[in-house]
Amino acid sequence: MINKVILVGNLGSDPELRYTQSGTAVATLSVATNRRWKDRDGNPQEETEWHRVIVWAQSAEFCSNYLSKGMKVYVEGRLQTRKWQDQNGNDRYTTEIIASTIQNLTPRSGEFAGGGSQEPPLPPDPFGDSSTGGSPTTGEDVPF
């Protein structure tokens, strides 16, 4: 069975960094994704979905130090639903994305100066060879 989520969206607010009692960093991100389509009459429609993303340890500190509201991010992780009780004792549920990978897709100012492409960099190849630092093979070792 697979529980995998991949999002590309914009941060709706600055990351919120906290620490557990044992000193582990945990950041909460609010990520917006958009969907556009045309209705039966041909009118453009748009829908925004908000996602709560939880990031742990060094990745949480990265988020706090280098990400801010409005930036485009790539998030990879898994879905998790937690049950909790509100002040009145009613059961409530929260579904979150527990991030395993997060990457800033917003170009730094001046990075594309000189007429270069305005496209942000792509996330790393998920099928790359992780034993060599995440770089995919070049094909030079193929015997034909």
> Are residues 5 and 79 in contact, defined by beta-carbon separation less than 8 angstroms?
yes
Binned at pLDDT 50, 70 and 90, residue 113 comes out as: very low
Domains and CATH numbers, the chain: 5-37+45-106 (2.40.50.140)
Q: With 0-12 CB in 10 A as exposed, 13-18 as middle and 19+ as buried, what is 37?
A: exposed
**pLDDT tens string 20-64:** 999 999 999 999 999 999 999 999 999 999 999 999 999 999 999
Residue listed under structure tokens 């914009």? 10
CA distance 7 to 51: 9
Q: How close are the terminal C-alpha atoms of the chain, in Å?
A: 35
What is the predicted pLDDT for the residue at 111? 53
Mean pLDDT, rounded, for 102-131: 58
**pLDDT tens string 82-111:** 998 999 999 999 999 999 999 999 987 655
Least confident piece of the model among 26-40, 45-59, 66-80, 112-126:
112-126
| Continuous segment of H or E residues that includes residue 77 | strand 72-85
